Amino acid sequence: MNIQENVPLAPHTTLRIGGPARYYATALSEEELRDAALWARSRSLPVFVLGGGSNLVISDDGFPGLVLHVRLRGIEATQDGRVVAAAGEDWDALVSRCVAAGLAGIECLSGIPGSVGGTPVQNVGAYGQEVSATIRSVRAMDIATGEFRNLAASECGFSYRTSIFNSSERGRHVVSSVTYELDPGGAPRLDYKELKDRFEGRPAPSLAEVREAVLTVRAGKSMLLASDDPNSRSAGSFFKNPIVREPLWAALEKTTGVPAPRYAVSPGLVKVPAAWLIDRAGFQRGERRGPVGISSRHTLALVNFGGNATAAQLMKLAVEIQARVMKRFGIELEMEPVRVGFGE
């Protein structure tokens, strides 16, 4: 095990913002994960688990403990559609491989940056699919004891962008591998209107065609990592779509004069696009506060436009957005990315 000191973390994140890790270790195996966790325990250091860095805001002060970078590799697939992937595998490479093998269930999650290990943590979702629908189990280590456990999907507490790993048991585990149960020869999911529209009048698109369509839609919103797209230096959606009671949703039309978009959640509750609320609160796409700002393609992504942007500048903009949406609509926007080193 190789422990490094004062390692810059910004290059390990898609936002490219933030300070250093006091200690930093890379784990290529479960043994290395355990060794690193026990090393941190012996020094009473907090541990932060770093995966793909795509949903992460690191504070300018960095992290005072051990940053454990999970880089375990390996994918095993069985005949019946079960796929076991190590946490450090690139998520989109896995999706691409499964689509090519005719395995349905994650094709709409194409183009999402990050690693396999992050997918159960925030229950990644897009275009009508949530990864929890295909996760069979998650193998994870308890950081305090170094012991590994296989958690069945039912034990993971999945809901919208939520699992036990980022809520009730936040900080307790490191995911080492995930078992997905996919559908060999299954049809792609075409629920999301924007996606469905692209196949208007064309029956039964293939998994590969749906993957391509998702990649195109995402690229159009700068939600695809691309070195030549400055808007993509972001953490994806910066806020969750709030789930509100029907009367609060209905009140939005009174305030704005137009009906707000909605997705049904359960009787009496609807999800409202945070991007729409931010727009209607008066923020413009492409609006900047110094080197940080709002993506010119989507109001839900906050972007580091370069020039030594700081986490403080980014968080200030996030708080400004929250405050204005609260003042105008009485709705609280919850930040979506994991925040590290902000004294939590």
Minimal distance in Å, beta carbon 6 to ligand EPU? 30
**Amino acid of residue 90:** D
Binding of residue 329 to ligand EPU (CB under 6 A): no
Minimal distance in Å, beta carbon 205 to ligand EPU? 17
Q: How far is CA 330 from CA 84, 162, 263, 287, 317, in A?
A: 44, 23, 19, 23, 18
Nearer to ligand EPU, 229 or 279 (CB): 279
Binding of residue 65 to ligand EPU (CB under 6 A): no
Nearest to 88 by CA among 186, 176, 181, 184: 176
Which tokens belong to 65? 């403990």
Torsion of CA 302, 224, 61, 42, to 10 degrees: 140
Tally of CB atoms within 10 A around 182: 21
Q: What contacts 180, CB < 8 A, 6 or more positions away? A: 82, 83, 84, 85, 98, 105, 106, 131, 134, 135, 136
The helix or strand, by DSSP H or E, that contains position 126, with its residue range, turns out to be strand 125-126
- Candidate list 236, 242, 293, 341; residue touching ligand EPU; CB under 6 A: 236
Binding of residue 313 to ligand EPU (CB under 6 A): no
Q: By rule CB under 6 A, what string of x and - marks binding of each residue 191-230 to ligand EPU? A: -x-x--------------------------x-x-------
Binding of residue 232 to ligand EPU (CB under 6 A): no
Pairwise CA distance, residues 337 & 104, whole Å: 28
Q: How far is CA 338 from CA 59, 155, 237, 278, in A?
A: 11, 22, 12, 20
The footprint of ligand EPU on this chain (CB under 6 A) covers a number of residues equal to 20
Which tokens belong to 314? 């980014």
Which of the following is catalytic: 161, 198, 233, 297? 161
Phi-psi map region of 81: left, alpha, beta (phi>0 left; psi -120 to 50 alpha): left
**Amino acid of residue 126:** A
Pairwise CA distance, residues 15 & 306, whole Å: 10
- 237 annotated active-site: yes
Binding of residue 97 to ligand EPU (CB under 6 A): no
Minimal distance in Å, beta carbon 133 to ligand EPU? 14
Of 115-134, which residues contact ligand EPU (CB under 6 A)? 126-127
Which of the following is catalytic: 181, 209, 287, 336? 336
- 336 annotated active-site: yes
Which of the following is catalytic: 163, 176, 232, 237? 237
**Amino acid of residue 327:** K
Q: By rule CB under 6 A, what string of x and - marks binding of each residue 25-64 to ligand EPU? A: ----------------------------------------
φ, ψ for residue 29 (rounded to 5)?
Answer: -150, 170
Binding of residue 88 to ligand EPU (CB under 6 A): no
- 137 annotated active-site: no
Minimal distance in Å, beta carbon 109 to ligand EPU? 9
The residue with its CB nearest to ligand EPU is 236
Task: Write out the residues near ligand EPU by the rule CB under 6 A.
Answer: 126-127, 192, 194, 221, 223, 236-237, 240-241, 261, 273, 275-276, 279, 285, 298-300, 336
Q: Which residues are catalytic?
A: 161, 237, 336
